[in-house]
Amino acid sequence: MKKRIGILLTGIALLALTGVPLFAAGGQGGKTGGAQKRVFFTNAFNTAPFCAPLNAQALQTAKENNIDLTIVDGQASASVQLDQIKNAISQKYDGIIYFPADKEGSITIVKTLNESGIPYAVIDSMVDDSVMPTITVFAGPDNVHMGEVAGQACVDQLGGKGNVVILEGAPGTDPATNRQKGFLNIVSKHPNIKILASQNVDGWDPAKAMTIMQDYITRFGNQIDFLFAADDGLFQGAQQAIAQAGLTGKIKAVSTGANNVGCAAIDAGQLYGSVLHSAKEEGQLGVEAVIKVMNGEIKPGDNKWLKCSSPLVTKENIEQWRGWGW
């Protein structure tokens, strides 16, 4: 499969002021043609490692398409993002990219975007089900499918029998909820696979994942055959607890992301596989999506979905996908 992405920018400084541009980039002679257009991007989790390469690729794609892109930190707050988007509307941006902080808070934001008439795209995390049919375009992963890929890897590695513990990710977020849903869609079909424990990890924090995994090991010890972590960073935290308990290699594991951390763990034999979620691909797709709306290729209410790739990355195919994550 031909790689979509070839450029990763580094060394980006983050600011955390509401509504203050964290990044801005323009370009000349891009695919949009004519006068340069201004696009506003509110990113829910700029402090998350995933967002640095996402933002970098978004800026690069914007530059290539004659887009002046401004990126701000949504501070993981729907109320902050609503204020930012209202600001962008009043400043008459040509387009808006919205990375939702949470589903419930997205309801008012989507209604505001729809009423504004400004072309927009939603990326990464799906909005609330009540307004999802009204959006123009979503660019991001199919988190249910990602969970199903991980679930099938679990079934294959266990031979349909064994005990599993799960680290779900931040509560209320689309990736945590739907990766869990997809994983259980597959694993629940196998009565000899038992879920010993499953818990959310606030903020996708590896340190918290480590603490939860320590608790799992204290409670279940050698009964644990398999770990599903909803993110490579969560696996990284869990692996520290596994190593401290002398269980490396005894507990099989799969996660999602296939980022540098995940690939390193696969190389080391600590992690069987990780389902790709490419930050760079998502950054590119997000900008391409809003361009399509601004150009009239995708129209309000079309409810299109530009999906990210999601193969299972293992030792067998890692060189094909290394560097695609983040």
Task: Find, among 259, 277, 279, 283, the residue nearest to 59 by Cα.
Answer: 283
Domain spans of the chain? 23-140+279-308, 143-276
Predicted local distance difference test score (pLDDT) of residue 259:
92
Residue bearing tokens 């010993």: 196
Look at 11-25, 46-60, 259-273 and tell me which has the smallest mean pLDDT: 11-25
Read off the pLDDT of residues 296-313 as tens digits, 9 standing for 90 and up.
Answer: 999 988 999 999 999 999
- The per-residue pLDDT for 22 is 52
pLDDT tens digits along 128-167: 999 999 999 999 999 999 999 999 999 999 999 999 999 9
Indicate if 143-276 has the same CATH topology as 23-140+279-308. Answer: yes
Would you list the DSSP string of 222-242? GG--EEEESSHHHHHHHHHHH
pTM of the model: 0.79
Residue 10 has pLDDT above 60, yes or no: no
pLDDT of residue 17 exceeding 60, the answer is no
**Given 3.40.50.720, 2.60.40.1180, 3.30.420.40, 3.40.50.2300, which CATH number is that of 23-140+279-308?**
3.40.50.2300
Residue 144 and residue 181 in contact, taking contact as beta carbons nearer than 8 Å: yes
Name the CATH topology of 143-276: Rossmann fold (3.40.50)
Q: What percent of the chain has pLDDT over 90?
A: 79
| 144 C-beta neighbours (distance < 10 Å), count | 18
- pLDDT of 226 above 90: yes
Question: For 260-266, what is the mean pLDDT?
Answer: 95
Give the integer Cα–Cα distance in Å for 17 and 105.
20
pLDDT higher than threshold 70 for residue 26: no
pLDDT one-digit tens code per residue, 99-111: 998 888 999 999 9
What sections of 221-295 are H helices per DSSP?
A: 232-244, 260-267, 279-294
Mean pLDDT calculated for residue range 196-201: 97
Residue 117 in 3-state DSSP? coil
Binning pLDDT at 50, 70 and 90, where does residue 31 land? low
Look at residue 30 in the predicted model and tell me its pLDDT.
Answer: 42
pLDDT for 174 equals 83
- Res 7 pLDDT > 80: no
Q: What is the pLDDT of residue 314?
A: 98
